[in-house]
Amino acid sequence: MEEVVVPVNHIERFSKVLDPELLSRYQQVTRSLRERFEGRTVWNVNTTAAGGGVAEMLHSLIPYVRGEGIDARWVVMEANEQFFGITKRLHHALHGSAGDGTPLGDAERRVFDEVTAANTIELLARVRPRDVVLVHDPQPAGMCDALIRAGALVVWRCHIGHDESNQEVERGWAFLAPYLKNVPALVFSREAYVPAALDDGRTTVITPSIDAFSAKNQELDQATIHSILVHVGLVEGPDGEDRSFVRQDGTPGRVDRQVDVVRLGRAPLWDTPLIVQVSRWDPLKDPLGVMNGFGHLVERGMAGDAHLVLAGPNVHAVADDPEGASVLDEVIAHWRELPHALRHRVHIASLPMADIEENAAIVNALQRHAAIIVQKSLEEGFGLTVTEAMWKGRPIVASAVGGIRDQIEDGEHGVLLADPSDRQAFAAALGKLLADPAWGETLGANAKERARHEFLGIHQLIKHGRLIENLDAVHDECGRPAELTHEVMQRRGSRLEEPRE
Ligand code: UDP
């Protein structure tokens, strides 16, 4: 297991963008947590330090907790390819899809348990009784019981889900639920994601968030955006001077690496409108569908001189996503089949991941420069890329799936596609936005306001703070940690995120 080094950050910077009442509510929650958790640690456990929404949120949220004098830490599980193959299959199942169609049976459970056991030994050497452990997503879920027995307060945080149950969803939860039966608090991103098997009074809904000041989301002026995009090779032009951004710890950073781009000929010009999707290379993000929809837009003569950029992480960098390389290969193979005139307008970009904040600054510049940001996912727990686009005030076209429906109201904060596989509707939405930039600006401005009021990190921090405080108070009432079972939580019968009187 590796511990991720997390800097310290101060919440006061939010005073620039938030109302003071919210800030003081946050400070109240953290003050009381600091007193309660003196000498104790709040651990986060997941499976990757880079790539994907969970890593993104942990990098941004933990520093603020540390900034309040609370010892919050982050450890990453170590696992082999076989384990990640199984957990990726599980991930697809919980999203309602069959993934590669492999089984989730006894043999898979044995591999899952073996890897879990090895990691649990290491984690137990660090965690002390009465520490809090936030276990993120299915991969480390098998550790919960041992942590509870060791006297830790365990919260399982699920970042994925599917609205309706189907055979795959049931298969996924049948595999996972046994590991969660003793966990006193379960957190989901949407009410609809709570599976029947776990809907027994210990669940809380907390909406994911973004950090307004991270390298991914901080303001960048046009000259810096230009210099970054030219330097990395995503836009054609003379190399500019200023490719700087501010790192999480306040020190200056600079974009030095370049992007690995598959394209025909030259990069688009600065004035070329870019339609951009940033995502892991995952079939559920539907990169082929984005390309086909863009093809349709061009065929119908509605694309003007727009180009498409499909951007994702360098495929060797995301430890818990073994599918990345094959999906990227498929995207490139599909691109090779496109007619020549279309192919020269489609750019497939693998972003460098060696320095995660440099990667974030490139994503930031690309999102800010995009004429339209798309997220044409077939399934989505909660699209962080959508919130990132909202915060940047960009026009968005996204699928009306999963959490995206909580983020965007169609026609108010962006355009939603009722059927994500409908490439004509996708092309029509893009065409309409390209033809009417003023409309896009209005949608973008509305989206930004909504992100400010609902989706910034401070909201999530307050809710998690209350949850942990309430859980600890119930724990005190129980006396012994192992008795803080879900039956106790059920008897208590109140939702954990509500303030205690
Ligand atoms: N991301 C990134 N670099 C990349 C591709 C993606 O930083 O090359 C980030 C993206 O900006 C977002 C996160 O990864 O913050 C993806 O989160 P989301 O919830 O959209 O999808 P997930 O990957 O969790 O399914």
Give the model confidence (pLDDT) of 10-31 as tens digits: 888 888 888 888 899 999 999 9
Cα(360) to centroid(ligand 1), Å: 10
With a 6 Å cutoff on the Cβ, whether 318 touches ligand 1 is: no
* Model pLDDT, residue 483: 57
Closest ligand 1 atom, residue 208 Cα? 19
* Model pLDDT, residue 499: 44
Burial tier of 237 (Cβ tally within 10 Å: 0-12, 13-18, 19+): middle
Question: Which residue bears the tokens 């600006």?
Answer: 441
* Model pLDDT, residue 392: 98
| 230-236-239-241 Cα dihedral, nearest 10 degrees | -50
With a 6 Å cutoff on the Cβ, whether 402 touches ligand 1 is: no
Cα(311) to centroid(ligand 1), Å: 10
Nearest to 454 by CA among 399, 403, 380: 403
The CA distances from residue 316 to 57, 189, 255, 325, 364, in Å, are 21, 28, 20, 7, 21
Q: For a ligand 1 pocket test, name from 385, 390, 392, 407 the mutation site with the most ligand atoms within 8 angstroms of its C-beta.
A: 385
| Three-state secondary structure call for residue 261 | strand
353 neighbors 313 (Cβ within 8 angstroms): yes
- Specify the amino acid at residue 286: D
Cα(384) to centroid(ligand 1), Å: 7
* Model pLDDT, residue 501: 33
* Model pLDDT, residue 18: 84
- Specify the amino acid at residue 471: L
209 neighbors 456 (Cβ within 8 angstroms): yes
Which tokens in the block code for residue 58? 């942990």
* Model pLDDT, residue 231: 97
Nearest to 234 by CA among 202, 206, 270, 199: 270
With a 6 Å cutoff on the Cβ, whether 56 touches ligand 1 is: yes
Give, using CA atoms, the residue closest to atom 11 of ligand 1.
385
Distance CA 451, CA 330 (A): 34
List CB contacts of 89: < 8 A, sequence separation 6 or more. 99, 100, 102, 104, 108
With a 6 Å cutoff on the Cβ, whether 53 touches ligand 1 is: yes
Domains in the chain and their CATH numbers? 2-209+456-500 (3.40.50.2000), 222-454 (3.40.50.2000)
* Model pLDDT, residue 253: 98
The CA distances from residue 54 to 46, 73, 194, 280, in Å, are 8, 14, 18, 12
Give, using CA atoms, the residue closest to atom 17 of ligand 1.
53
Distance CA 471, CA 489 (A): 9
Give, using CA atoms, the residue closest to atom 3 of ligand 1.
313
Question: pLDDT under 70 in the chain at which residues?
Answer: 317-319, 479-501
Q: For a ligand 1 pocket test, name from 60, 95, 257, 279 the mutation site with the most ligand atoms within 8 angstroms of its C-beta.
A: 279
